[in-house]
Amino acid sequence: MIAEMQCVVLDCPDPLELARFYQALLGGEVNRPDRRWSCDDHWATLHTPAGAVLAFQRVPGHLPPRWPDPAHPQQAHLDFAVADLDEAETHALAAGATLLDATPDARGWRVYADPAGHPFCLIRESA
């Protein structure tokens, strides 16, 4: 094992509104203080009673998916906490991932696509 799932991130036009929607379905706490994220107008979280975390990311011009219309595909990505970004990248690439964002990792994460093209992030664990 090289990673631990941190959260599932859903793109949307209004992060707080969507967090509250899922809170109504699942219970939990919206924007609970958490050292991993800072919540603002562009990012909201829901910590569920079962321990899962959903995150909601504002995307300007968001177009909702239209299941199963491939012209409007599902828009979500997974974040995985890793101890060592370089080691995790080597493992992910060997498993079939594609590097999507080669921006220097001073920010603490890198973006990849799985073999089917779904984006995911490897995120350096906080100390």
Domains and CATH numbers, the chain: 4-124 (3.10.180.10)
pLDDT digits (tens, 9 = 90+) for 56-78: 999 999 888 887 888 877 778 88
pLDDT value at residue 67: 78
pTM for this prediction: 0.77
Beta-bridge partners for 9 = 55, 77
pLDDT digits (tens, 9 = 90+) for 97-116: 999 987 776 778 899 999 88
Q: How far from 39 is each of 19, 42, 75, 121, CA to CA, in Å?
A: 11, 7, 20, 18
User: 46, 18 in Cβ contact below 8 A?
Assistant: no
